[in-house]
A = this chain, B = another copy of it.
Amino acid sequence: MSTETDFLGELLDDEQIARGADALREHSTDWGTEDGVEPDVVVYPASTEDVSASLAGANKRKVPVTPYAAGTSLEGNPVPVEGGISMNLTRMNDVLAVRPEDLQLDVEPGVMGPAIEDAAGEHGLFFPPLPSSGDISTIGGMIANAASGMQTVKYGEVADWIRELEVVLADGSVITVGTKAVKTSSGYNLRDLIIGSEGTLGIVTRATLGLAGRPRQIRGGRALFPSLGDAAAAVTDVVQSGVDVAKIELIDTESAMMSNEYTGADLPDVPMVFVEFHADHGIDEEIAYCESVLAAHDPLEFELADEETMDSLWRARRDLAFAIRSWNLDLQPLVPGDVTVPISEYGPTIAYIKSLEDEHDLLMPCFGHAGDGNIHYTVLVDPTDSDEVERGQQAYSDIVDYALSVGGTATGEHGIGLGKRKYLEREHGAAAVALMQRVKDSFDPNGILNPGKIFPGDGEWERADPTDYDS
């Protein structure tokens, strides 16, 4: 592909184009990528027109364009592995309209979680599927990676709350997909095809989000268990019993220990489950029902917490990724795994992970959106010990294979990016991946949009694993 990007000077203002070393370096990585690839240029569109003109020009010249926002993804999703243009959408960060009468909000792609919460909150509304990382990620990134969050167990994923999207295609044409009605059966569902396509099919420039009324009753609590197996079985039973939980998160002993070191959270030294309930009426009965289900799994304790205590517990939960990353600087975390399995397989999958931890003598803290069958597992390895690195990588990969073998997915909410390309065909089969590739070609015949991502055969650049640190 071409690296001819001078044409941008005729389309955008000077302050919308950056070629300096800092800007190029900043756009070479995401949180999951240590040594990335620099783009040739970074552009900062301020409008749909800027995006459209830039894409039309790039398409004509076959210059790669990789969208970039907060850079907080984990699978290398916004790393511009073939150079070209990194399109930073964070200046398109306006809340365009709030329509409480339709329970809707129109936003630009660079708007972050707190701005969504503020705009909705003014009307007593909220955006239920906001990810745990919502404070540090953009709605565009959430849409691109098909994100979800702690409340997905009750309310669904980000995708379930996207009503309409404005999308710029590779050739610069602008389309609207979805509808402002809550449902439609008109034509192909291009909206949900764009969602999760990681910027490889088009660039979202406006999103209409659905909102919900804030529940009148919110209550949280924590259950402690003698073993991780008991904790996982309890979560499974809660979901199977139809307890109406708004959040239900599992945290293993190792994660709790690391959280204590990082935040001084003073979590006990046992596996635990955090829960939250949302209701307009009858929350006490629902909590009592949940407690009765948990009771069958020998909890050491189940305690409701006041709001302040609960806030600090949820903060500890949200900071777990940081806690694990910074726990022991001699150990290097592999990129956190994100497998998700049918709920009946949740306990067995956790048990399998812990058996690999023992077998390979590795540290593998686990936590995650347990109610969805989602597990964030982190394999920690000493990067100077090549045998340990290899065992860690094997364990990571074995866990993905295990999840796939029980009907699950390699990635619940982080996307494929670079890191999970090798699992794509294992999960979907060759014919489905070939079809995805034909769909990609039908959207982007020149292959300019975020090349080298999702498809295993597309591009040769691979992310460095910790093995490289010992060289």
Interface residues of A (CB under 8 A from B): 99-104, 145-148, 152, 156-157, 159-160, 164, 169, 173-177, 179-190, 192-193, 195-197, 201, 212-213, 239-242, 244, 279-282, 285-286, 289, 338, 340-345, 372-374, 403, 407-416, 420, 423-424, 427-429, 431-433, 435-436, 438-443, 454
Contacts and interface: CB of A to CB of B under 8 A. Distances in A.
A128 to B, nearest CB: 12
A370 to B, nearest CB: 12
Given A102-B344, A432-B176, A411 B185 contact: yes
Contacts of A433: 187
Nearest to A406: B180
Contact of A183 (B180, B197, B344, B413): B413
Given A102-B342, A187-B436, 11 more contacts: A99-B342, A146-B183, A157-B183, A159-B189, A169-B435, A175-B429, A179-B407, A179-B408, A181-B407, A183-B372, A187-B416
A282 B287 CA distance: 13
B431 A184 contact: no
Contacts of A372: 181-183
A159 B157 CA distance: 14
A190 B156 contact: no
Contact of A187 (B100, B374, B454): B454
B431 A169 contact: yes
Contacts of A289: 280-281
A341 B374 CA distance: 35
Contact of A196 (B164, B185, B454): B185
B189 A196 contact: yes
B409 A184 contact: yes
Nearest to A145: B185
Interface centre among A173, A342, A343 (most CB of B within 10 A): A342
Contacts of A193: 188-190, 192-193, 439
A104 B408 CA distance: 13
6 contacts: A146-B189, A156-B156, A175-B428, A188-B439, A435-B443, A442-B442
Nearest to A420: B186
A159 B184 CA distance: 11
A101 B442 contact: no
Given A175-B431, A190-B432, A412-B183, A104 B342 contact: yes
A184 B408 CA distance: 8
Interface centre among A286, A409, A415, A440 (most CB of B within 10 A): A409
A188 to B, nearest CB: 5
A101 B104 CA distance: 35
A100 B236 CA distance: 12
A38 to B, nearest CB: 26
Contact of A442 (B342, B344, B423, B438): B438
A202 to B, nearest CB: 9
A145 B282 CA distance: 37
Given A147-B185, A180-B407, A424-B187, A175 B432 contact: yes
